[in-house]
DNA sequence: ACCTGAACACCGTTCAAGT
DNA sequence: ACCTGAACACCGTTCAAGT
């Protein structure tokens, strides 16, 4: 009964020569620009190719279809985001649990906010295709990094890091995303961020 | 620099005769069914019309374009959901704050879970179009209902209901949505729900 | 190894004609 | 008042031909 759709699309072939790499980068850049200026509905292969300065045929050498292009663009973005989070988690090793949570919230919030237009454009672009594998891979990395971080907290002895990480990551990432989707005012956003932070910290102290 | 897109599409005209109402319902039902079985990518106007037993032209009498159809379908769903939440909020008036939060989480969680396929299909269908006005209207209703409920809690005297409602609603709805997007196991989901609940309750007790 | 662009199938949308 | 479906413009995708 599940929607019958193809497996997650992957890049057709890797660019081997330097000019090919330039081409692929140009295609990615053109896609993002069009997404930002015109929205996902007006994103056509012809326009992407034209903006990238290549022909449609060239685009299809590297991406089997339009979905694969959008998929790859999102994969790129999520990979960079996961890397940032992993770095923060590594840097916070050994700190107090409260500081860890604050840093995690800060990092994610910052990443979403600093290029809000990009975040929104990518959210919307990817949604019509099955991106669950991307989301799962991303969540897996973030969970793992958070677990490792929490396990190193001196004031968290005796609490299992695995379920704790799952809860915190889901609550934090879900809240940020939702805050992002709603049209909150800057004042409301600032207040919410503080409340989310203290909520997680109170939760850590309890029990 | 914002994506240049049309204003939120609205139904072209209201059905005046009985058979027209039947037609519109058939179109909605066909859209949902196709979304569930084939996914948003294979949702074409021709197929919707065919499944609904009408011609394409008929569909275009009630919806100015395909987007408007998807928009209206989502509006329907969110309206029903908001109504459920408002009812719960009314029913919980005068209870203790902890019970309120638990009921709110339960209601939303239940609504998302009982027809998980529908939830997912609608999420994906609406994402490529600008649904911010839908989201805002929904959030506004839920916020208002939650505020009114919290203001009636005997154990919450002296705490402002408005920012409290905003925080709780954003955290709860964001978490549920995120939990939903990740492919969590039933055991993890159950655990998460309990933790979210106690997290909100500890937060209410604090300060 | 990489690129081109005309050609094809199909989808969203319209509109003159019907009941 | 409501419905039909051929017709049109345009989009995704291919492939024979080029460098």
B141-185 tens-digit pLDDT: 999 999 999 999 999 988 999 999 999 999 999 999 999 888 899
CA distance A60 to A66: 8
Q: Which residues contact A97 (CB under 8 A, 6 or more apart)?
A: A150, A153, A155, A156, A204
Split at pLDDT 50, 70, 90, the class of B2 is very low
CA distance A150 to A200: 13
Q: For residue A158, with 0-12 CB atoms within 10 Å meaning exposed, 13-18 middle and 19 or more buried, which class applies?
A: exposed
Measure B58 CA to C17 C1' (Å).
14
Q: Is the CB of A56 under 7 A from strand C?
A: yes
Residues 146-165 of B with CB under 8 A from A: 163
Please provide the DSSP assignment of chain B as one string: -----PPPP--S----SHHHHHHHHHHHHHHHHHHHHH-GGG--HHHHHHHHTS-HHHHHHH-SSHHHHHHHHHHHHHHHHHHHHHHHHHHTTTS-HHHHHHHHHHHHHHHHHHTHHHHHHHHHHHTTS--HHHHHHHHHHHHHHHHHHHHT-GGGTTS-HHHHHHHHHHHHHHHHHHHHHTT--HHHHHHHHHHHHHHHHHHHH--
Please provide the DSSP assignment of B118-157 as one string: HHHHHHHHHTTS--HHHHHHHHHHHHHHHHHHHHT-GGGT
pLDDT digits (tens, 9 = 90+) for A158-179: 899 999 999 999 999 999 999 9
Q: What is the pLDDT of residue A3?
A: 45
Nearest chain B residue to A40 by CA distance is B128
Q: Is the CB of A20 under 7 A from strand C?
A: yes
Q: Per the confidence metrics, is the pTM higher than 0.85?
A: yes
CB contact under 8 A, B128 and A128: yes
**Residues, chain A, total?**
207
* Nucleotides of strand C under 7 angstroms from a protein beta carbon: 1-7, 10-16
Identify the helix (H) or strand (E) that includes residue A33.
helix A18-38
Q: Is the CB of B12 under 7 A from strand C?
A: no
Identify the helix (H) or strand (E) that includes residue A60.
helix A56-62
Split at pLDDT 50, 70, 90, the class of B11 is low
Q: What is the pLDDT of residue A43?
A: 95
CB contact under 8 A, B124 and A124: no
pLDDT higher than threshold 70 for residue B8: no
Q: What is the pLDDT of residue A13?
A: 65
| Chain centre to alpha carbon of residue B98 | 24
pLDDT higher than threshold 70 for residue B6: no
Rounded to an integer, the average pLDDT of B87-110 is: 97
Q: What is the pLDDT of residue A5?
A: 47
Closest C1' nucleotide to B46's CA: C11
| Chain centre to alpha carbon of residue A69 | 16
Residues 101-160 on chain B lying near strand D, CB distance under 7 A: none
pLDDT digits (tens, 9 = 90+) for A98-146: 999 999 999 999 999 999 999 999 988 987 788 889 999 999 999 999 9
**CB–CB of A100/A149 below 8 Å?**
yes
Q: Is the CB of B11 under 7 A from strand D?
A: no
Chain B partners within 8 Å of A124 (Cβ): 127-128, 130
Q: What is the pLDDT of residue B3?
A: 45
Q: For residue A144, with 0-12 CB atoms within 10 Å meaning exposed, 13-18 middle and 19 or more buried, which class applies?
A: middle
pLDDT higher than threshold 60 for residue A191: yes
Split at pLDDT 50, 70, 90, the class of A19 is confident
Q: What is the pLDDT of residue B4?
A: 42
* Nucleotides of strand D under 7 angstroms from a protein beta carbon: 1-7, 10-16
- Percent of chain A predicted with pLDDT > 90: 80
Chain B partners within 8 Å of A165 (Cβ): none
Q: Which candidate, B22, B9, B142, places its Cα nearest to that of B73?
A: B9
pLDDT higher than threshold 60 for residue B7: no
- Percent of chain B predicted with pLDDT > 70: 92
Q: How many CB pairs under 8 A join A and B?
A: 149
CB contact under 8 A, B130 and A36: no
Nearest-CA residue to the C1' of D14? A57
pLDDT higher than threshold 90 for residue B36: yes
Q: What is the pLDDT of residue A74?
A: 95
Q: What is the pLDDT of residue A1?
A: 37
Split at pLDDT 50, 70, 90, the class of B10 is low
Q: Which candidate, B8, B5, B142, places its Cα nearest to that of B87?
A: B142
CB contact under 8 A, B182 and A136: yes
Q: What is the pLDDT of residue A11?
A: 57
pLDDT digits (tens, 9 = 90+) for B50-90: 999 999 999 999 999 999 999 999 999 999 999 999 999 99
pLDDT higher than threshold 50 for residue B130: yes
Closest C1' nucleotide to B58's CA: D3
Q: Does A206 contact B at CB distance below 8 Å?
A: yes
- Looking at every residue in chain A, the average pLDDT score rounds to 91
Q: Is the CB of B43 under 7 A from strand C?
A: yes
Closest C1' nucleotide to B21's CA: D2
Q: Is the CB of A19 under 7 A from strand C?
A: yes
pLDDT higher than threshold 50 for residue A6: no
Q: What is the pLDDT of residue B157?
A: 83
**CB–CB of A105/A173 below 8 Å?**
no
pLDDT digits (tens, 9 = 90+) for A58-90: 999 999 999 999 999 999 999 999 999 999 999
Measure B42 CA to D6 C1' (Å).
23
Q: What is the pLDDT of residue B164?
A: 96
Residues 44-63 on chain B lying near strand D, CB distance under 7 A: 54-58, 60-61
**Residues, chain B, total?**
207
Q: How many CB atoms lie within 10 A of CB A187?
A: 8
């Amino acid at each position: 009964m599940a929607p019958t759709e193809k497996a997650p699309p992957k890049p057709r072939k890797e660019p081997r020569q330097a000019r090919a790499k330039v081409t692929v980068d140009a295609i990615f850049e053109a896609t993002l620009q069009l997404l930002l200026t015109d929205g996902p509905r007006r994103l056509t292969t012809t326009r992407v190719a034209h903006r990238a300065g290549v022909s449609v045929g060239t685009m299809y050498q590297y991406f089997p279809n339009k979905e694969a292009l959008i998929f790859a663009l999102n994969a790129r973005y999520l990979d960079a985001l996961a890397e940032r989070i992993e770095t923060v988690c590594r840097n916070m090793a050994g700190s107090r649990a409260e500081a860890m949570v604050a840093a995690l919230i800060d990092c994610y919030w910052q990443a979403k906010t600093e290029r809000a237009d990009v975040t929104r454009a990518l959210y919307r672009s990817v949604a019509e295709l099955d991106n669950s594998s991307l989301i799962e891979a991303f969540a897996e990395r973030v969970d793992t990094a958070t677990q490792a971080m929490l396990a190193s907290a001196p004031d968290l002895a005796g609490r299992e890091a695995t379920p704790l990480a799952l809860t915190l990551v889901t609550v934090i990432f879900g809240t940020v995303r939702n805050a992002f989707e709603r049209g909150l005012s800057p004042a409301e956003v600032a207040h919410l961020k503080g409340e989310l932070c203290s909520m997680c910290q109170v939760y850590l102290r309890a029990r």
